[in-house]
Amino acid sequence: MPARPKERAAHWRSQMSVIVAAGLALALTLMGCGAQGERPAATATPPPNGPAALLVYRGHQGPVIGVAWSPDARRIATCGNDDTVQVWDAATGKQVWSYNDPSAAGKNYLFALAWSPDGASLAAGGYDGGVRLLNAATGSQRAILAGGSPFIEGLAWSPDGKRLAWGSGDGTVQVWDVATQQKTLTYNGQTSAIGHIAWSPNGAQIASASYDGSVQVWDATTGKRQLSYTGNGAPVWSVAWSPDGKQIASGTGSAGSNGPVPNGNSLRVWDATTGKTLLTYNGQGDTQTYALSWSPDGTRLASAGDGKVIYVWNAATGQTQFAYHGHTDVIFGLAWSPDGARLASASADGTARVWRYL
pLDDT tens sequence across 170-186? 999 999 999 999 999 99
29 pLDDT above the threshold of 80: no
Q: Each residue of 208-232: pLDDT tens digit?
A: 999 999 999 999 999 999 999 999 8
For residue 209, give every residue at least 6 positions away whose Cβ sits within 8 Å of its Cβ, in sequence order, or none. 154, 167, 194, 195, 196, 197, 215, 236, 237, 238, 239, 250
Alpha-carbon radius of gyration of the chain: 18
Expressed in angstroms, the distance from the first to the final Cα of the chain is: 44
46 pLDDT above the threshold of 80: no
Share of the chain above pLDDT 70, in %: 83
Residue ranges covered by each domain of the chain: 47-356
282 pLDDT above the threshold of 90: no
267 and 281 Cβ atoms separated by less than 8 Å: yes
From CA 215, how far away is CA 43, in angstroms rounded?
Answer: 27
pLDDT at 12: 37
From CA 254, how far away is CA 63, in angstroms rounded?
Answer: 17
pLDDT at 14: 40
Let me know if 38 is exposed, middle or buried by CB neighbors in 10 A (0-12, 13-18, 19+).
middle
- Of 314, 316, 260, nearest to 289 (Cα)? 260
Angle ∠(330,194,72) on CA atoms, nearest 5: 65
307 and 291 Cβ atoms separated by less than 8 Å: no
Mean pLDDT of 39-47: 57
pTM above 0.85, yes or no: yes
33 pLDDT above the threshold of 60: no
At 2, is the pLDDT very low, low, confident or very high (cuts 50, 70, 90)?
very low
pLDDT at 219: 98
What is residue 41's DSSP assignment? P
13 pLDDT above the threshold of 90: no
Superfamily of domain 47-356 in the CATH hierarchy: YVTN repeat-like/Quinoprotein amine dehydrogenase (2.130.10.10)
Mean pLDDT of the chain: 86
Mean pLDDT of 140-147: 91
Q: Which residue pairs, CB below 8 angstroms and at least 24 apart, start in 87-91?
A: 87/122, 87/136, 87/139, 88/57, 88/59, 90/55, 90/337, 90/342, 90/344, 90/354, 91/55
Q: Each residue of 244-270: pLDDT tens digit?
A: 999 999 998 765 555 556 566 789 999
pLDDT at 34: 38
